[in-house]
C-alpha cells in the first residue's frame, strides 16, 4: 500500500496519451520524447527520495478529432498544474491544440531506469509509477469495499472456469487492501478510454468502488457471453444473483441463499436420519455451503439433501397389535375365494405378531390380469394398518430407474422405490412392485440386478408378477403365490358381492336405486367377457351403472313420473355394454320429492352379444383348422391354428406372434407327419400327395398375444393331419400337449387355466396328456361337470379323439 503523503502544491505533469493511470494502479511507461525525458530527469532522476509526478491523460488527434480541435501529434509535453484541481485544459496548457483531460492523478516513481539508444545516443527512461492515494476510514467506504471484494471473487471464479488464471489474482485479493482492489481491477480490464476517464473522474473513492463493482459485473458478463452454450446460462444466473445480492446488501436485506440453506439445515435436522446417513448428509451440506449457486454440482447436491430430508426416516404408520381375526375378516370382505392366498397371508401375519422383527417374505403374485393381485396387496396393507404404495416397473430398462442416478449426474433423479417412499411419506408401507416381469435390460444396466439388491435385505414387500421371465436369482428371493383365473361361478359371486356394490358406490348409486340381477351378470360374463380375471366384467358393470346414473339423475330433474312410465323403457342400456346387449335391469323405487318415480324396465338391444359360444364352430369350418389350448400372460387361452398348403419346395412357413419354442414344435410336428405320410396315404381331393413339392403355412391368428411354450405340439400335428387328409376336426374339442418325435404325448403346464379358458369359450371336449390327470384336482367341479376330458398317451390317441370318425391314421395305416 502506498504511504499517505502530503502532496506538494505544484506538480510536474506528464501527459499520458490515450491512456489513463487509474487510482491505485501501477504502470510502467517508457519516456522517449525530449520534453518528457527532461521532465523525468528533473523531477525524478535527480532526486534522492522517490519523486512525485502528475499524470494527465491527453487525447490522441484522431480520437479527439470528432469533438475537439486537432491536437499536435506530439503530445509528449509537460505542463505544470495544481494537483487535484479541476483546471480547465483550455486555459492552462501551453499548446491550445493539445486536448488535455481536466483530471489526473499524482503518482510516485517506484522504479527508474535510464537507457541510451544506439546509434542516435538518445536518452530514454523507463518509469514504474504508482498512483498515490489517501486511505479512507469511512464506514460506507469499507462496506462498499467489501461488496466489491465479493464481486471480485465471483469474477475470479468465472475467469477460473475459463482459464486457470485464478491463483495469482487470488493472491492479490488476499494481500491488497480491499479499497484498492477496485482500481487495480479496473486498470486491468479492457475498457474504453472513455470508461477509463470516467473512472478517473470519479474522485470520490466510494463512487469509484461502485463503478468498479458495476464494471466487474459487466466484464464477467462479457466473459460469460464468450463462453459457449450451457455455461452462459448458469453464469448469467450468477451475475444476476450477484446484482441481486448487491442490491439486497444495499437495502440491508437478508441474503436469500443463506436463508435457504439455513432452512435446508433445519429440515435436515428434523428429518431424523440414522447416524450414518446424517454424517453423510452433514458432509454434503458443508460442501454445499462452500459452493456458489452457479457452480456445477450445486443444484444436484442441494436436490440430494432435499431428498434426504424429505424421506420418511422416522415417520411410520402406527403399528397396532395385530388382530388376526380382524385381518382375516378384512381379507374376506375385500375378496371372494382365493382361500390359499388368504391363508398364506394370515400365516405371514401370525409370524409377524410373534416375531415383529422377523424378516418378512417377499410375496410374488403370479396370475393373469384382473384376478386381484393389486387389490389383494392393498388389502394386506389395510390388514396391517399400513399405507400402500404401488410402484410400476413396467418398461423399466435402466438400472438407474430402480437404484437412482448418480447424484452428480445432471438431472439425476431418485430411483422409483425411493420416489415411492417419498410419496407415501412413511417408512413402513406395503410396497407393491407391479409388473416386475416387464422390466428389461439394455446397455444402461440390468434393473433386475438392482431389484435383487433391493429385495434381498430385510424388507417385506408384496410383489406383483405376470409370470414372464423373471431372472431365477430374483425369483429365488420371492415366495410365488399363484392366482389363477376364475370360473364363471366365481366371477358371478365376485360380481354380486364385491364388484356391483363397489361400482354402484363409485357412481353415486346404491342398491336402493339399482339392482343388477344375477341372470344379467351371468349373461355379461358369458356373452360379453372372455377373460381369466374380472376386469372386463367390472368395466361392463360400470357401464351399466353409468347408464343408470344418467337415468336416475334425469329423473331427479324431471319429476314427477308415475309407475310404468314409457320413458323408462327406452333403450337405456343400448351401447352401454362393451358391445351392447340384450339385458334386463331393474331400477327399484326411489324417493325424490317424496314420490316414487321408478319401476322395472327392460331394454332390448338389437346388437348381438360379443361372444355367443358359436365361435369355435364357426371357425373350424375347413380341414386344417384346429383348436388348441395355450397359456399366455392373460392366463389360459383358446388358440386357433390354421394350416394350409400351396405349391412350393416343401418349406414350412409360420406366421402370427410366435416364440422360438413354437417354431421348433411346428418342425417336429411336420417331421412326425412326414415320417408317416406313406402310411397315412395323405392325398388331396385331387389325388395329389400333399407332402410332395408343397409348402406348408401354419398361422396362429387370434390376437396379438405372444405365444411360446411347447404345449402346441399335438395341436399342430392334428391341424396338419386334418389338412392333408382333408377332414375337419371336431369344433367342440380343444387340445393341449407336447409330443416327442416318436409320438409320445408329454404333459404341459397351466392345465387349470387352460380348462377354464375352454369353459369360457363353450368348448365341450378337452384332450389332455395322460400325465396331466393329476392337475385336474385343481379344476373346480362346476367346470369339470360341463366338460368331457379325454386323456392321451400317444399322438394317435389325440387324433383318434379329434375327428368325428376316429383317427384317420387308423383308417389308413396298418398299425
Instruction: For residues 729 and 552, give the distance between their C-alpha atoms in angstroms, rounded to a whole number.
Output: 51
CB of 731 to ligand ATP, least distance (A): 31
Smallest gap from residue 340 Cβ to ligand ATP (A): 12
Q: How far is CA 692 from CA 82, 671, 672, 681, 688, in A?
A: 122, 13, 15, 12, 8
Span near ligand ATP by CB under 6 A; candidates 11-19, 336-344, 572-580, 720-728: 336-344
Nearer to ligand ATP, 104 or 372 (CB): 372
User: Residue 658: phi, psi to the nearest 5?
Assistant: -125, 150
752 flagged as catalytic: no
Question: Rounded CA gap, 363 and 377, in Å?
Answer: 9
Q: Which residue is catalytic, options 180, 387, 707, 754?
A: 754
Nearer residue to ligand ATP within complex by CB, 233 or 497: 497
Nearest to ligand ATP by Cβ — which residue? 372
Instruction: Report the residue number, 199 or 467, with the smaller CB distance to ligand ATP.
Output: 467
Task: Check residue 539 for interaction with ligand ATP (CB under 6 A).
Answer: no
What does the block give as the cell for 475? 425369483
Regarding beta strands 461-465 and 430-434, do their DSSP bridges make them parallel or antiparallel, or are they unpaired?
A: parallel
Quote the strand ranges of 415-477, DSSP E. Answer: 430-434, 461-465
Please indicate whether residue 580 is annotated as part of the active site: no
For 278-345, the DSSP string reads HHHHHHHHHHHHHS-TTSTTHHHHHHHHHHHHHS-SS--PPPPPP-HHHHHHHHHHH-SS-HHHHHHH
336 in contact with ligand ATP (CB under 6 A): yes
Give the nearest distance from C-beta 686 to ligand ATP in angstroms: 50
Total interface residues for ligand ATP by CB under 6 A: 19
Q: Does 76 contact ligand ATP by CB under 6 A?
A: no
SS3 content of the chain, % helix, strand, coil (to 5): 45, 20, 35
Q: Residue 372 or 769: which CB sits closer to ligand ATP?
A: 372
Q: Which of 59, 498, 530, 760 binds ligand ATP (CB under 6 A)?
A: 498
Here's the x/- map for ligand ATP, 253-292, by CB under 6 A: it reads as: ----------------------------------------
Identify any residues that bridge with 646 across adjacent strands, giving them in sequence order. Answer: 695
Give the DSSP H/E element, type plus range, for residue 392: strand 388-392
Interface stretch with ligand ATP, choices 332-340, 511-519, 620-628, 783-791 (CB under 6 A): 332-340
Q: What secondary structure letter does DSSP report for 45?
A: I
Q: Does 38 bind ligand ATP (CB under 6 A)?
A: no
Distance CA 565, CA 315 (A): 58
CA 627 to CA 734: how far, in whole Å? 5
Please tell me whether residue 345 binds ligand ATP under the rule CB under 6 A.
no
What is the smallest separation between the CB atom of 436 and ligand ATP, expressed in angstroms? 11
165/156 Cα distance (integer angstroms)? 8
93 versus 534: smaller Cβ distance to ligand ATP = 534
Angstrom distance (rounded) from CA 280 to CA 494: 52
* Residue 638: CB minimum distance to ligand ATP, A: 20
CB of 488 to ligand ATP, least distance (A): 14
155 interacts with ligand ATP by CB under 6 A:
no
Q: Which stretch binds ligand ATP (CB under 6 A): 122-130, 154-162, 532-540, 568-576?
A: 532-540
Which three three-digit cell numbers place residue 812? 389308413
Q: With respect to ligand ATP, which residue has the nearer C-beta, 436 or 712?
A: 436
User: C-beta of 373: minimal distance to ligand ATP in Å?
Assistant: 3
Helical (H) or strand (E) element with 27: strand 26-31
HEC secondary structure over 169-231: HHHHHHHCCHHHHHHHHHHHCCCCHHHHHHHHHCCCHHHHHHHHHHHHHHHHHHHHHHCCHHH
Is 538 among the residues that bind ligand ATP (CB under 6 A)? yes
List the binding residues for ATP. Answer: 367-374
Catalytic residue among 79, 711, 722, 731: 711
Q: Does 797 bind ligand ATP (CB under 6 A)?
A: no
- Site pattern 364..383 for ligand ATP (x: CB under 6 A): ---x-xxxxxxx--------
Q: Which DSSP symbol is given to 721?
A: H
Closer CB to ligand ATP, 312 or 485, in the complex: 485
In the stretch 449-478, what mask flags binding to ligand ATP with x, by CB under 6 A? -----------------x------------
**What is the DSSP code (8-state) at residue 357?**
T
Closer by beta carbon to ligand ATP, 44 or else 432: 432
Strands annotated E in 535-666: 582-587, 591-592, 595-596, 600-604, 625-632, 635-647, 652-655
Active-site positions read: 711, 754
Site residues, ligand ATP (CB under 6 A): 335-338, 367, 369-375, 466, 494, 498, 533-535, 538
Amino acid at each position: 500500500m502506498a504511504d499517505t503523503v502530503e502532496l506538494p502544491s505544484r506538480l510536474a505533469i506528464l501527459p499520458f496519451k490515450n491512456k489513463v493511470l487509474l487510482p491505485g494502479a501501477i504502470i510502467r511507461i517508457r519516456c522517449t520524447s525530449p520534453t518528457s525525458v527532461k521532465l523525468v530527469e528533473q523531477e525524478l532522476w535527480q532526486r534522492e527520495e522517490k519523486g512525485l509526478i502528475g499524470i494527465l491523460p491527453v487525447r490522441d488527434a484522431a480520437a479527439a478529432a470528432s469533438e475537439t480541435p486537432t491536437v499536435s501529434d506530439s503530445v509528449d509535453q509537460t505542463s505544470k498544474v495544481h494537483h487535484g484541481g479541476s483546471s480547465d485544459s483550455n486555459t492552462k496548457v501551453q499548446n491550445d491544440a493539445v486536448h488535455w483531460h481536466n483530471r489526473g492523478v499524482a503518482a510516485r516513481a517506484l522504479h527508474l531506469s535510464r537507457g541510451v539508444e544506439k546509434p542516435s545516443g538518445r536518452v530514454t527512461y523507463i518509469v514504474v509509477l504508482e498512483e498515490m492515494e489517501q486511505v479512507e476510514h469511512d464506514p460506507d467506504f469499507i462496506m462498499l469495499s467489501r461488496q466489491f471484494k465479493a464481486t471480485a471473487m465471483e469474477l475470479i471464479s468465472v475467469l477460473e472456469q475459463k482459464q486457470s488464471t485464478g491463483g495469482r489474482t487470488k493472491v492479490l485479493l488476499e494481500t491488497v487492501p480491499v479499497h484498492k482492489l477496485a482500481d487495480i481491477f479496473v486498470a486491468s480490464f479492457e475498457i474504453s478510454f472513455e470508461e477509463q476517464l470516467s473512472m478517473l473522474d470519479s474522485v470520490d473513492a466510494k463512487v469509484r468502488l461502485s463503478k468498479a463493482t458495476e464494471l466487474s459485473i459487466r466484464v464477467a458478463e462479457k466473459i460469460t457471453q464468450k463462453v459457449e452454450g450451457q455455461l452462459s446460462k448458469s453464469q448469467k444466473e450468477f451475475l444476476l444473483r450477484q446484482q441481486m445480492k448487491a442490491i439486497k446488501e444495499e437495502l440491508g436485506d437478508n441474503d436469500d441463499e443463506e436463508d435457504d440453506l439455513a432452512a435446508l439445515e433445519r429440515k435436515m435436522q428434523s428429518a431424523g436420519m440414522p447416524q450414518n446417513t446424517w454424517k453423510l448428509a452433514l458432509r454434503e451440506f458443508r460442501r454445499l455451503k462452500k459452493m456458489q449457486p452457479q457452480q456445477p454440482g450445486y443444484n444436484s447436491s442441494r436436490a440430494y439433501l432435499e431428498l434426504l430430508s424429505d424421506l420418511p426416516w422416522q415417520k411410520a404408520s402406527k403399528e397396532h397389535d395385530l388382530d388376526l381375526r380382524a385381518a382375516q375378516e378384512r381379507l374376506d370382505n375385500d375378496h371372494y375365494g382365493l382361500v390359499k392366498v388368504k391363508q398364506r397371508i394370515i400365516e405371514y401375519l401370525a409370524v409377524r405378531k410373534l416375531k415383529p422383527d422377523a424378516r418378512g417374505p417377499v410375496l410374488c403374485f403370479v396370475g393373469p390380469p384382473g384376478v386381484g393381485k393389486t387389490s389383494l396387496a392393498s388389502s394386506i396393507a389395510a390388514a396391517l394398518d399400513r399405507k400402500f404404495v404401488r410402484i410400476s416397473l413396467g418398461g423399466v430398462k435402466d438400472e438407474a430407474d430402480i437404484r437412482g442416478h448418480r447424484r452428480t449426474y445432471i438431472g439425476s433423479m431418485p430411483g422409483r422405490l425411493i420416489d415411492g417412499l417419498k410419496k407415501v411419506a412413511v417408512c413402513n408401507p406395503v410396497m407393491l412392485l407391479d409388473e416386475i416381469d416387464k422390466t428389461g435390460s439394455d446397455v444402461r444396466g440390468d434393473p433386475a440386478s438392482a431389484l435383487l439388491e433391493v429385495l434381498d435385505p430385510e424388507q417385506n414387500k408384496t410383489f406383483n408378477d405376470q409370470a414372464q421371465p423373471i431372472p431365477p436369482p430374483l425369483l429365488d428371493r420371492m415366495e410365488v403365490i399363484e392366482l389363477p383365473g376364475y370360473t364363471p361361478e366365481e366371477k358371478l359371486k365376485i360380481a354380486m358381492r364385491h364388484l356391483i356394490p363397489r361400482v354402484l358406490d363409485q357412481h353415486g348409486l346404491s342398491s336402493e336405486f339399482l339392482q343388477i340381477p344375477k341372470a344379467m351378470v351371468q349373461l355379461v360374463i358369458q356373452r360379453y367377457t372372455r377373460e381369466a380375471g374380472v376386469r372386463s366384467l367390472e368395466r361392463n358393470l360400470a357401464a351399466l351403472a353409468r347408464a343408470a346414473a344418467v337415468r336416475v339423475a334425469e329423473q331427479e330433474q324431471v319429476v314427477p313420473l308415475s309407475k310404468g312410465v314409457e320413458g323408462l323403457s327406452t333403450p337405456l342400456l343400448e351401447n352401454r355394454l362393451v358391445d351392447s346387449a340384450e339385458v334386463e335391469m331393474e331400477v327399484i323405487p326411489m324417493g325424490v320429492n317424496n314420490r316414487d318415480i321408478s319401476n322395472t324396465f327392460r331394454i332390448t338391444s338389437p346388437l348381438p352379444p360379443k361372444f355367443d359360444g358359436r365361435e369355435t364352430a364357426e371357425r373350424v369350418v375347413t380341414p386344417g383348422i384346429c383348436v388348441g389350448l395355450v397359456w399366455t400372460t392373460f392366463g389360459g387361452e383358446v388358440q386357433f391354428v390354421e394350416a394350409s398348403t400351396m405349391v412350393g419346395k416343401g418349406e414350412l412357413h409360420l406366421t402370427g406372434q410366435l416364440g422360438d419354442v413354437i417354431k421348433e414344435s411346428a418342425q417336429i410336428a411336420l417331421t412326425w407327419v412326414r415320417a408317416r405320410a406313406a402310411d397315412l396315404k395323405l392325398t388331396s381331393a385331387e389325388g395329389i400327395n400333399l407332402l410332395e413339392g408343397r409348402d406348408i403355412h401354419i398361422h396362429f391368428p387370434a390376437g396379438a398375444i405372444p405365444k411360446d411354450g411347447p404345449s402346441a405340439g399335438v395341436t399342430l400335428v392334428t391341424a396338419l393331419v386334418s389338412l392333408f387328409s382333408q377332414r375337419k376336426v371336431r369344433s367342440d374339442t380343444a387340445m393341449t400337449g407336447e409330443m416327442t418325435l416318436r409320438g409320445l404325448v408329454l404333459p404341459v403346464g397351466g392345465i387349470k387355466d387352460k380348462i377354464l379358458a375352454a369353459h369360457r369359450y363353450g368348448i365341450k371336449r378337452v384332450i389332455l396328456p395322460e400325465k396331466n390327470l393329476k392337475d385336474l384336482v385343481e379344476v373346480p367341479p362346476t367346470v369339470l361337470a360341463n366338460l368331457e376330458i379325454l386323456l392321451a398317451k400317444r399322438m394317435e390317441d389325440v387324433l383318434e379323439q379329434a375327428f368325428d370318425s376316429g383317427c384317420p391314421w387308423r383308417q389308413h395305416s396298418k398299425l
